[in-house]
Amino acid sequence: MKMNLTEIEVRVLGCLIEKELATPEQYPLSLNALTAACNQKSNRDPVLALTEEEVMDGLDRLGARGLARLTTTGGRVARYRHSLGDTLHLPAPSLAVLAELMLRGPQTAGELRGRAERMAPLGDLASVEAILGTLMAFGPPLAARLPRQPGRKEQRYAQLFAGEPELPADAPPSPEPARQRVAAGGERLDRLDEEVSALREEVAALRGEIEELKALFR
C-alpha cells in the first residue's frame, strides 16, 4: 500500500488516530475539532496552520483511498473517523506508534515509547521495537529504520505513508587526528610568517625614521 500521502493528509490521518485512542469520548471528530487538532502546538512537528478547507480537502483525498470516512452519529454536525484499523487490521499499539510518527516525524524507539503511551499501552522498549518490526515487515512496509546519523547513538524510525523520507546529506567525515595536527601546525607557521613580515616592515620603518633624525643633527 504505497500511499505517497501529502503532508496535510498525513497530519489529518495522524490526528484522527490520535484522538480515537487518546480521547475516545470526543471521537469521531467534527471538521472544527479536527482542524484544531491538526494545528495543535503540542505533540506536533512541524506545527501547521491549516484552514478548514485544507483539512476538508485532505479528508476527501483520504476518503478516496479508503482511509477516512464521514460517520452517521445521529447529530446535526458532520463527524469524521479514520478507517486505517479496519483496512490494515492493526491493533491499538501499532496504530499509536504510527500516529506518533505521523504527528512528529522520525523518532527513536525510546522516544516513541515515551510519547505514544498516552494513546495505548506499549510495554517495554523491546515491545516497541517488536511493533516497529511488524510495521516494517508489513506488505508493503508501513515504517522504515533510518540510517544512523553522525553523532547519534540510536537509529530513528519513520512512517512511509508519505513515501520514502528525505534524508539529510551526509556530513563530510572528520579528518584524522594526525591530519588535524598537521593542519594546525601549518596554520601556526602561516601566522608566524605573517608576524615576521609585519615586524620586518616595522623595523624598516623605524630605521628610516632614525636616518631622518640623524640627518637633522648633522
Nearest CA to 157 out of 126, 112, 92, 103 is that of 112
Q: Which helix (H) or strand (E) segment is 63 a member of? A: helix 52-64
For 3-59, the pLDDT digits (tens) are: 799 999 999 999 999 999 999 999 999 999 999 999 999 999 999 999 999 999 999
For 46-78, the pLDDT digits (tens) are: 999 999 999 999 999 999 999 999 987 657 889
| Share above pLDDT 90 across residues of the chain, in percent, rounded to a whole number | 65
Q: Which residue has the cell 512541524?
A: 46
Rounded to whole angstroms, how far apart are CA atoms 10 and 162?
7
Q: Which residues pair with 29 in a beta bridge?
A: 80
Specify whether the CB–CB gap between 80 and 29 falls below 8 A. yes
User: Does residue 168 carry a pLDDT above 70?
Assistant: no
User: What does DSSP assign to residue 175?
Assistant: P
